[in-house]
Amino acid sequence: MLLNKTVFHLVVAIKLGMVYPVWADTFTLEQLRWQSRALVVCALQERNLTRLAAKFNQQELEKRRLRIFANSYFGVFELNTDHMQSSHLEFQLCDDMPESTAHLIGLDGTIKASYRFENLNENTIYRDIDAMPMRQLELSRLKAR
């Protein structure tokens, strides 16, 4: 089963023109706490991965400390515009939420907003992050420099 899953991940990466390490680091949402925000997209189909990855500007993601994860039927992938990386992380929140939803998780590890996949818009995500108290603090510190 693991071999089939690995082969599928490799086929998806080749189809998308992306490269990623087959044996990626394992981490949890708890390890992301206070380090990165996360956008967790539940039940993505393979054809949507490229479209989702292309929507986001890597510099904007880095400025906001945002990592994007797609939780599909075949596993969890971390997405950005440069590569797709397989992850052994599982998101229990996707078990409890409707399919084709995305959840914005703040630095404190709580869900800040939820979106339908078809309505997922990078500008809305950026605006929602920029309105968060922790982001406001980050922005005020940047202005003070």
Q: What is the pLDDT of residue 96?
A: 62
Amino acid letter, 115:
Y
Q: What is the pLDDT of residue 101?
A: 85
pLDDT digit string, tens, across residues 1-38: 444 444 344 344 444 444 333 333 344 677 788 999 99
Sketch the domain layout of the chain as residue ranges: 2-144
What's CA 75's distance to the chain center, in Å?
13
pTM over 0.85: no
pLDDT digit string, tens, across residues 41-92: 886 566 666 677 778 888 999 999 999 888 776 677 787 656 555 555 555 6
Q: What is the pLDDT of residue 7?
A: 38
- Gap between the Cα atoms of 18 and 70, Å rounded: 15
- Gap between the Cα atoms of 103 and 116, Å rounded: 9
Domain 2-144 belongs in CATH node 3.40.30: yes
Q: Are 43 and 96 in contact (CB under 8 A)?
A: no
> Using 50, 70 and 90 to split pLDDT, how confident is the model at 132?
very high
Q: Are 119 and 125 in contact (CB under 8 A)?
A: no
pLDDT score of 116 more than 60: yes
